[in-house]
Amino acid sequence: MRLLLISDTHGKLGIINQLAADVRADAVIHAGDFGFYDDGSYQRLQLRIVHSDLSPADKEKMLALPREEKIEASKENCPLSELPLYIEGATRFDVPVYAVWGNHEDKAVVERFFHGDIQVENLHILHHLRAYQVGPALVYGLGGNFLAGSKLMQRPIAGGAGKIWNTLSQYVDLIETVESEIDRSGSRICVFHVSPGKEPFVELIGARTRADFTVSGHMGAPTCMVWNPFAVSSVEEATVRLRNGLEVVKKSCLDVAQSNAAWVEQAFSLIGRIPEDTVDIGRRIEVPSWYRRMTHVNLPDACVGYAVLDVDETGTKLQTFVD
């Protein structure tokens, strides 16, 4: 099975079908900042003009308009997303798309997809309560920003004003969701919006869920970044990175936990149970399986680059592309 890996389309969704056709993909994995907005989003979000491609003079002129005129000008000059066309059925995704939400999305729209109030043909939302069998691969993930401390202690879906972040309870649910799929064979692909290279705690979740690949976006990198722990650090350094990442985040949560401290301890106990199975890398040296096996793919914006992952029962093949 051929999987197109992309991220950060920011509502310009036509590129998904275009690239899927170009590489002859059977399915698409999207790592967030998808463009989860609808026509009602203009009433809820205020930052689109500021972050648009308009000239400074045009931005200043639009920002000075009364609220309702500003909303109409935004719809005309800097539309949020093409998603309403897919919701209405005016256009469709040609192959199945499996997407997490990013950190810049409309929380209200994400919640409607999460609860099944909106459905789009061939669009499947990856979240903490659902994993998908995509050909020979198990695909799962969790979108949103990673913000340790009080925001991580909120209940999902957390966010507002065009921003979404993930929560500790979602990470616990994600681990339990994946563990319920323990009997499934084949590659495991874990999708985040935030890069495991940036956040050790996110890499820990990949190791904890026995991911063969993590796929992420968010960084605005100039090209596709591919690495694995074995390639960039010693096993001691890699292990310390995960353990320190866990302890730093745990402390940030306990500092604000108050009456929830016992639950926080329990949650981090579950998260910290990194699989202990090992592999031989030669000369009778045994290392943790995650250290040798898990590969991270961090993607640039879809208009800049993408990756293609071929997966079958015999193995995988990864290619990266930059436009």
- Residue owning tokens 């339990």: 176
Tell me if 251 is assigned to some domain.
yes
Tell me if 276 is assigned to some domain.
yes
CB 6 within 8 A of CB 32: no
Half-sphere exposure of 256 (CA within 13 A, CB side): 11
**Any idea of the CA torsion for 165, 73, 10, 150, to the nearest 10 degrees?**
-10
Separation CA 193–CA 216 (nearest Å): 5
Beta bridge partners of 159: 164
Tell me if 166 is assigned to some domain.
yes
pTM > 0.85: yes
List the CATH number of the domain containing 250: 3.60.21
Which pLDDT score, from 0 to 100, does residue 45 have?
A: 75
Tell me if 50 is assigned to some domain.
no
Q: Using only C-alpha atoms, what is the Rg of the chain? A: 20
Separation CA 264–CA 94 (nearest Å): 43
Q: What is the C-alpha end-to-end distance of the chain, expressed in Å?
A: 23
Which pLDDT score, from 0 to 100, does residue 46 have?
A: 61
Tell me if 73 is assigned to some domain.
no
Tell me if 75 is assigned to some domain.
no
Count of structural domains within the chain: 1
Residue 288 identity (one-letter amino acid): P
Tell me if 88 is assigned to some domain.
yes
Tell me if 84 is assigned to some domain.
yes
The DSSP element (H or E) to which 208 belongs, if any, is helix 200-208
pLDDT beneath 70: ranges in the chain: 46-48, 50-51
Identify the DSSP state of 1: -
Which pLDDT score, from 0 to 100, does residue 71 have?
A: 83
Q: Which domain holds residue 117?
A: 2-45+80-322
Q: Which residues, 6 or more positions from 188, have their beta carbon under 8 angstroms from its beta carbon?
A: 137, 138, 140, 178, 209, 210, 211, 212, 213
